[in-house]
Amino acid sequence: ILYRIILKKGKSIRQVMEEQGVLQTFLKNHPKVDPGAKYLFNNDA
Amino acid sequence: VAYEPFTNYLNSYYFGEISIGTPPQNFLVLFDTGSSNLWVPSTYCKSQACSNHNTFNPSMSSTYQNNGQTYTLYYGSGSLTVLLGYDTVTVQNIVIHNQEFGLSEIEPSNPFYYANFDGILGMAYPNLAVGNSPTVMESMMQQGQLTSPIFSFYFSRAHPGRNMNSQFYSGEIVWTPVTRELYWQVAIDDTWSVLCLGIGFCLPCSQTASAGRSGRKSHRGRGLGPFVWAPRLLARSSSASPLSQFVVNCNSIQSMPTITFVIRGSPLPLPPSAYVLNATYLPSPSGQPLWTLGDVFLKEYYTIYDMGNNRMGFALSV
């Protein structure tokens, strides 16, 4: 059985924030956001 | 841009439609191979981010059951607090009964406000999930919706909805074992790592040059900046933007030169440790560098995620 789930390519958060002029301010005020935070659940990674 | 830790950050953009509840309430979710929980915004949430998205109303679903537990989920783009519950989840034509999912209560992160998706559907291993109930993939298996816990991604070259190729790949599939049953981690044999040349290097060039590629060429010609030796040691990005990145071999760092800028007669040396940024932000148990293979890789290579055999397969995409 093969199910095909169609995904759509939408705007990324980065694109939307850039368009609305808030990306640079966010990056400036959140310099230490760790993109890998979701992998560190319970710090056991 | 000096604050930017990684240019791919906040750049997920492949979303799919699912529905939750009876009658179904629709959501656009990010299909995420790097997490394992399903969550959507809910009417419990009073954060600004939730006002900008579809919210699940449990009181409007006859099949909803409350779990009572709350957890915090952590993502690179922020964290959120969810209340766990159970309801019918429909993904395309797959119906899953009593699927555990998170109803967001607090979404304090700014990025979630701007996200074009409502929630996230995690497709990694159960060990990465909060709560003790099956993930979406596990539920599909347990309820007989799938014969094997395998999924794959194919990026169509054709116009969406037309000329969809029934054959996804050509040639042999290269299988490799998952090295850690948390997310889809596999080993790369080569010792190359993602290393970025400091963005600050690019800015002086673009500021003093006229514009774009031609300006950078003139700098190379005059022997300024890293571009003089980049062709020998670095693989230069094709992009002419100030955010250009370069890849260098981990083993080459020690032999890379100290670059000395002389400003008004004073030498200002810059050792390689200063201008090479290790973009690996995840700890690795083996000490090996970790890559994240995103859509650039997945477009070229049809990628199979086989949770039943703890392996991944790669084949040339057609």
pLDDT tens by residue, A6-38: 888 888 888 898 899 988 888 777 655 555 555
Q: Mutate which of B110, B140, B168, B243 to test chain A, going by most A C-beta atoms within 10 A?
A: B110
Closest CA to B58 of B67, B70, B49, B71: B67
CB contact under 8 A, A35 and B110: no
On chain B, the residues whose CB falls within 8 A of the CB of A12 are: 10-13, 116
Question: What percentage of chain B carries pLDDT values higher than 90?
Answer: 31
**CA of A21, closest CA in chain B: separation in Å?**
11
Q: What interface predicted TM-score (ipTM) does this complex get? A: 0.71
CB atoms within 10 A of CB A2: 7
Task: Quickly tell me which residue has 């250009």 as its tokens.
Answer: B244
Q: Do A33 and B182 touch (CB under 8 A)?
A: no
Looking at the complex, does the CB of residue A27 fall below 8 Å from at least one CB of chain B? yes
Determine the pLDDT at residue B45. 94
Which pLDDT does position B282 carry in this prediction?
52
Task: Write the CA distances from B109 to A26, B66, B73, B273, integer angstroms.
Answer: 10, 25, 12, 33
Q: What is the pLDDT of residues B52-97, one digit of tens each?
A: 899 999 999 999 999 999 998 887 677 889 999 999 999 988 999 9
Query: Region B19-45: what's the mean pLDDT?
Result: 93
Residue B195 Cα distances to B234, B272, B289, angstroms:
10, 12, 10
